[in-house]
């Protein structure tokens, strides 16, 4: 069963706007990761945030983690058409596997 | 990621046929995974292997089997394919012991259609 649930399921914005997607999970975690998937291709790791971290940045990406609410958000600033993709959160619990959410489809229009 | 390759990239087969999907990696990672992706359901874990002698069932292992032939190779078999196994299949690798937490590196996927 999915641990993470992304919200919204789909998001459509214009180039230059910011895109925010959220992830909620159910059990305690060691870390939470975000991945991007371009249509029909393999997932690419974007960023990892540990359970003792609250915010992390990587280029135009900003991730926050609120362990009390069991939620995370991914912010993409100044979006570009090339950011069009599906974005998945994945949670790591223990020392074994990742559990992926169902993803948010982001469409960035020129 | 060219470090993780999957063959074939596309496959059409018939119900009842045995089919094998292969994954190879040059990253030197011990851990390998097989997932399937269905529209609207995200990725679900089928099997995973932490080293050559270790095989573990994932969330949806029924109807599938795996073989870890070497550190670099992890194969997924459908013994008797059925239409609801039509999906996009991904192989992934990771190596937490190298300080990368559980970051996973994915292959390009195999699109399987079972008629």
Q: Do B106 and A100 touch (CB under 8 A)?
A: no
Joined together, the tokens standing for residue A66 give 């609120």
pLDDT in tens, B56-74: 999 999 999 999 999 999 9
Q: Which residues does chain A have with pLDDT short of 50?
A: 1
Burial class (CB in 10 A: 0-12, 13-18, 19+), B72: middle
pLDDT in tens, B73-87: 999 999 999 999 999
* Chain A CB contacts of B1 below 8 Å: 42, 44
pLDDT in tens, B30-56: 999 999 999 877 899 999 999 999 999
Residue of B nearest to A88 (CA): B42
For residue B23, the surrounding DSSP H or E stretch is strand B19-25
């Amino acid at each position: 069963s999915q641990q993470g649930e992304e919200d919204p399921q789909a998001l459509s914005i214009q180039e230059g706007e910011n895109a925010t997607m959220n992830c909620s999970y159910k059990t305690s975690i060691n870390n939470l990761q975000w991945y991007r998937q371009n249509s029909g291709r393999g997932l690419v790791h974007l960023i990892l945030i540990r359970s003792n971290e609250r915010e992390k940045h990587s280029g135009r990406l900003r991730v926050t983690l609120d362990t009390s609410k069991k939620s995370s958000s991914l912010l993409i600033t100044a979006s570009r058409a090339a950011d069009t993709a599906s974005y998945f959160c994945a949670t790591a619990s223990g020392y074994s596997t990742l559990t992926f959410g169902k993803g948010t489809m982001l469409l960035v229009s020129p | 990621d060219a470090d993780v390759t999957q063959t074939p990239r596309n496959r059409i087969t018939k119900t009842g046929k045995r089919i094998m999907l292969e994954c190879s990696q040059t990253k030197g990672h011990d851990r390998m995974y097989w997932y399937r992706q269905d529209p609207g359901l995200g990725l679900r874990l089928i099997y995973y292997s932490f080293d050559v002698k270790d095989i573990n069932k994932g969330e949806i292992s029924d109807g599938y089997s795996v073989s870890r032939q070497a550190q670099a190779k992890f194969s997924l078999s459908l013994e008797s394919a059925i239409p609801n196994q039509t999906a996009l299949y991904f192989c992934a690798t990771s190596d937490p012991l190298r300080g990368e937490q559980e970051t996973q590196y994915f292959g390009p996927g195999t699109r399987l259609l079972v008629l």
